[in-house]
Amino acid sequence: MGLFSKPIKTLDDLFVHMLQDIYYAENKITKALPTMISKATDPQLRQSFEVHLQETRNQIVRLEKVFQMHGQEVKGVTCPAIDGIIAEAEEVISDSGDKEVMDAAMLASAQAVEHYEITRYGTLIAFARQLGRNDCASVLEETLAEEKATDKKLTMLAESKVNRMAA
Ligand code: FE
Ligand code: FE
Ligand code: FE
């Protein structure tokens, strides 16, 4: 738990905390994607990142809507998991390396991000339903579908082309 976040005592507290966590994560992703766009060599990979940057901006707006629907202030708390995933991505994406290998590294890192998001949104949706907030759940469902679709698209790109080019 972050230094300034309030103690988590109820499922509702946990729901709000996880909303703040993913809000921080989505904002962090918005800052990381432009670098990946500029470094991607494969045009389809670059385009996937561009499309997902737009989606991510919209996901942030959706989260702000959910905070409001639930009567909470819009606020983020540090997510050590996304910080770690992005730090690890920066480590494997070296500028000196082979361009095709760098594409494979960025794609793999992007999938790690999507998988983190998928687990968080899945939990948030389940909590929202348990708390009787089906309205919040359906907004979050839209984002979960985008994260899953992005992950699928990246798998297809990796298996059809990017990994072969890197080999
Ligand atoms: Fe996202
Ligand atoms: Fe987190
Ligand atoms: Fe995503």
Quick: pLDDT tens for 65-110: 999 999 999 999 999 999 999 999 999 887 668 999 999 999 999 9
Ligand nearest to the CA of 49: 3
User: Tokens 């991607």, residue?
Assistant: 40
2 is a domain residue: no
Give the span between the Cα atoms of 53 and 97, in whole angstroms: 25
47 is a domain residue: yes
pTM here is 0.94
66 is a domain residue: yes
- pLDDT in the model for residue 36: 95
Cα–ligand 3 centroid distance for 30 (angstroms)? 9
Cα–ligand 1 centroid distance for 95 (angstroms)? 25
5 is a domain residue: no
1 is a domain residue: no
Residue 52: enclosing H or E segment and its boundaries?
helix 43-69
Give the span between the Cα atoms of 148 and 1, in whole angstroms: 28
118 is a domain residue: yes
Indicate the SS3 state at residue 165.
helix
- pLDDT in the model for residue 97: 80
69 is a domain residue: yes
Ligand nearest to the CA of 151: 3
User: Tokens 């000196």, residue?
Assistant: 96
80 is a domain residue: yes
Burial class of residue 43 (count of CB atoms within 10 Å of its CB; 0-12, 13-18, 19+): exposed
**Dihedral sign of CA atoms 143, 137, 60, 75 in order:** negative
- pLDDT in the model for residue 93: 86
Indicate the SS3 state at residue 132.
coil
- Per-residue confidence at 4, pLDDT binned at 50, 70, 90? low
Give the span between the Cα atoms of 31 and 57, in whole angstroms: 10
Q: What total of structural domains would you count in the chain?
A: 1
Q: What is the mean pLDDT of residues 133-148?
A: 98
pLDDT, tens digit, 9 for 90 and up, residues 67-79: 999 999 999 999 9
Q: What is the mean pLDDT of residues 7-34?
A: 97
DSSP states along 60-120: HHHHHHHHHHTT--------HHHHHHHHHHHHH--TTS-HHHHHHHHHHHHHHHHHHHHHH
Residues within 5 Å of ion ligand 2 by Cβ?
21, 79, 81
Identify the domain containing residue 53 by its residue range.
11-166
Percent above pLDDT 70 for the chain: 96
pLDDT, tens digit, 9 for 90 and up, residues 24-49: 999 999 999 999 999 999 999 999 99
The CATH number linked to 60 is 1.20.1260.10
Residue 35: enclosing H or E segment and its boundaries?
helix 11-39
Mean of the per-residue pLDDT values of the chain = 95
* pLDDT at 2 > cutoff 80: no
Q: What is the mean pLDDT of residues 116-144?
A: 98
